[in-house]
Copies of this chain bind each other. A is one copy, B any other.
Amino acid sequence: MRSIIQNLEESKIREVANSSMGLPDVLAFWFGESDEVTPDFIRQAAIESLNKGETFYSHNLGLPELRTAIADLMTEKHGPSMGAPVIEFSRIAVTSGGVSALMVAVQALVNAGDEVVAVTPVWPNLTAQAQIMGAELQTVALQVKNGVWSLDLDLLLNRITSKTRLLIVNAPNNPTGWTLSRAEQALILAHCRKTGTWILADEVYENLYYEVTQNNCAPSFLDLACDQDKLIVVHSFSKSYLMTGWRLGWMVIPSCLNSAMGKLIEFNTSCASVFTQRAGIAAIQGRESVTPQVVQHLQQCRDVLVSALQTLPGVEVALPKGGMYAFFQLDGYTDSLDLAKRLVKEAGLGLAPGCAFAPEADGWLRWCFASKDLARLEQGVARLKRWIEKNPHPTATAHAPKDKPDESLQLGLF
């Protein structure tokens, strides 16, 4: 086996999840997945396709009907209404999940030894893929100010030189909720145009964004870029349509990559299943009955969870602008893997350890708040509260009462 592969970290999230084996009562919030089943009309579209006998190979780049629906959706969100060009059909490639899109993109761009810069903490798949291709990986860490993760843009731009083949950035970010601003995107794009660096933007959480915007989603590089830019934007059906297990995603590519991506998809998975793609078409067609409700519910989840966490002594947590995670610290604990395992065993609470996302995030915990039942979140917080009361850490200090209630507290149920 290659030593690179041997040395890739096993998922620390799975390590924590595995530590729950045999424990009868664990409330799990460790994985990045809603607990809601895919809406019935989407499942029925796949069932209809299966009943029709659509069980053959399809085009490498996806069914034309699906690519058209995606191009129209992307144009609606990131086209002329944002001052950007129409996103043409030829720029859409359908893949077997967002993760496959990311892998194929890295295969297209990164030779062994190429320098790749990634913004961290981040979903570990993004950095692992570059390492699998033999990249020289450099990371630029977000920085914490008052419990909020933010980008030191100068630091990032200084790190990207003409030797940098690829910048990998995920915003809204898993796990921190950090999101790039439009101004930051403009400066990064201008800089990368100069250095000739490709941008691989994982924007799968774009709809899970809780600020008011013109196009109801987070700022996207697509709002600023043209077809000639060295930019690949990756999307997925997983989050916005409750379709994690379907393995369906897409990328928006410069049209000059169209034929290369067709080849690479052939050599990776050949195509997404036709019945899965039919479900994707139904999801896009019926999106008004899914995504706004998903986002509205997630915002409620976020507000309930974060405001409840903020009442706990020693917990430092900020309201994330996007995504489906609360990322927080418990005062006095620096080893998040150990802490997460203790919480499983001693509190029946399953969270993801920050060290799964970057060394600089050790000491942090990620709580996925995509819970159908808000009460589950409240039960989880109650368990954490009891555990903290039983385990007053030497260096932990209870928050002093504030003069004014925290703004976010007003949003929650607590």
The chain A residues found within 8 Å of chain B, CB to CB, are 1-2, 4-6, 8, 10-11, 31, 33, 37-38, 43, 46-47, 50-51, 53-58, 96-97, 99-100, 103, 107-113, 125, 128-129, 132-134, 242-247, 256-257, 259-260, 262-264, 266-276
A332 CB to closest chain B CB, in angstroms?
32
Are A99 and B269 in contact, CB atoms less than 8 angstroms apart?
yes
A267 near B54: Cβ-Cβ < 8 Å: no
Q: A5-B108, A38-B53 known; 17 other A-B pairs, CB under 8 Å?
A: A1-B109, A2-B109, A6-B260, A11-B266, A33-B57, A38-B55, A43-B51, A46-B275, A54-B245, A55-B243, A56-B245, A96-B269, A103-B268, A111-B134, A125-B267, A128-B267, A273-B273
A31 / chain B contacts, CB cutoff of 8 Å: 57
Given known contacts A33-B56, A247-B269, is B1 in contact with A259 (CB within 8 Å)? no
- How many copies make up the complex? 2
> By the criterion CB–CB under 8 Å, are A112 and B113 in contact?
yes
Shortest distance between the CB of A90 and any CB in chain B (Å): 15
23 contacts between A and B (CB under 8 A): A2-B109, A5-B108, A5-B260, A10-B263, A11-B263, A38-B55, A46-B50, A47-B47, A47-B50, A55-B242, A55-B245, A56-B245, A96-B100, A96-B269, A100-B269, A103-B267, A111-B112, A112-B112, A125-B266, A125-B267, A245-B273, A247-B273, A273-B276
Max chain B C-beta neighbours (<10 A), residue from A54, A99, A269: A269
Does the CB pair B108–A268 fall under 8 Å?
Answer: no
7 shortest interchain CB distances as A-B pairs: A112-B112, A37-B53, A38-B55, A56-B245, A43-B50, A55-B245, A128-B267
| CB neighbours of A100 from chain B (8 A) | 96, 268-269
Q: Which of A33, A58, A264: most chain B Cβ within 10 A? A: A264
User: In the docked arrangement, what's the CA distance between A47 and B273, Å?
Assistant: 14
Q: Is the CB of B99 within 8 A of A268?
A: yes
> Is the beta-carbon distance between A55 and B33 smaller than 8 angstroms?
no
A270–B247 CB distance below 8 A:
yes
Complex contact A43–B57 (CB within 8 A): no
CB of B245 within 8 A of CB of A108, answer no
- Tell which of A244, A245, A259, A275 has the most Cβ of chain B within 10 Å: A245
The answer to whether A263 and B37 touch across the interface, beta carbons within 8 angstroms, is no
Report B-chain residues with C-beta under 8 Å of the C-beta of A275: 46, 245
Q: How far is the CA of A294 from the CA of B257 in the complex (A)?
A: 39
- A134-B111, A247-B273 known; A5 vs B53 contact (CB < 8 Å): no
Q: Provide the residues of chain B in CB contact with A257, threshold 8 Å.
A: 1
B-chain residues with CB within 8 Å of residue A107 when the two chains form the complex: 5, 132
- Complex Cα gap A43–B48 (Å): 11
A8 and chain B: residue at smallest CB distance: B263
- Which residues on B sit within 8 Å (CB–CB) of A96? 96, 100, 247, 269
Task: With both chains docked as a complex, state the minimum distance between the C-beta of A246 and any C-beta of chain B, in angstroms.
Answer: 6
Q: Are B56 and A43 in contact (CB under 8 A)?
A: no
Q: Please, which residues of chain B bring their CB within 8 A of the CB of A266?
A: 11, 99, 125
Contacts of A53 in B (CB 8 A): 37-38, 43
